[in-house]
Amino acid sequence: MKTQHAHRLIVLDTETTGLSTKDGNRIIEIGCVELLDRRLTGNNFHVYINPERDSEPGALQVHGLTREFLADKPKFKAVAQDFIKYIRGSELIIHNAPFDVGFLNYELAKLPNTQSIESYCTIFDTLADAKIRFPGQRNNLDALCRRYSVDNTHRELHGALLDAQILADVFLRMTGGQFSLMGDGNEDHVAASHKENKTITRTLADRPPLVVIRCSDEEESEHNARLDSIQKVSGQCLWQRDIN
């Protein structure tokens, strides 16, 4: 009997010395968190890397990782095989994937006997997905945190592992299906863009009962007042119609 392997997702983020590899910029930090069947496992991958150069002023202001701090850290070639082994066969979840993938491929191309990152895994870009879901809106990680009520108040400076952990939370909320219940028109896109569940999973018969959280009298009063205000401004509030 075959063992069914859990779908393995790796949420990844990097920090770099600057914005473009054309200027010789390098990766200085890689942070990854693992999801198996959409659950955090705690099997993370995190490493600081010595880029053998200074960060550009703008980049340094973002991540705060100085050349002095990175001086005794391993070079990319020393961690490359461990990194490849960690991501091999997974699906990488990245926000603005072309940026991180471009830097990773730039580093891998410098080494013998390595291939492009796409040779080891598939890639899902949460920024591209968010632009389809929310066209014309801000879709950076901070904006998505606000939209999906993900707490990132502890994020004073960018850090690859911290940002990967935050992105994992955002990704789970983006693709969890809850918003499709609201009829936002994205159901077909969700099915097409992230083919994660290939079989129907039945709910266990002995699972704990679902907790139903009911609104308080005060919350119901505020809700009704809101509907009244909509009725007053628009002249018609669909939620106040009697349903026969």
> What are the residue numbers of the active site?
158
Sign of CA dihedral 105, 108, 114, 120: negative
* Token pair 């007053």: residue: 232
What would the two tokens of residue 71 be?
A: 């001086």
Q: CA 194, CA 80: separation in Å to the nearest integer?
A: 28
Q: What are phi and psi of 19, to 5 degrees?
A: -90, -20
Q: What are phi and psi of 58, to 5 degrees?
A: -65, -40
Burial readout 90-117 (b: 16 or more C-beta within 10 A, e: otherwise): bbbbbbbbebbbebbbbbbeeeeebeeb
Q: What are phi and psi of 160, to 5 degrees?
A: -60, -45
**Which of 6, 186, 180, 193 lies closest to 97 in space, CA to CA?**
193
Burial readout 28-46 (b: 16 or more C-beta within 10 A, e: otherwise): bbbbbbbbeeeeeeeebbe
Contact 141, 97 (CB under 8 A): no
What would the two tokens of residue 97 be?
A: 């994937």
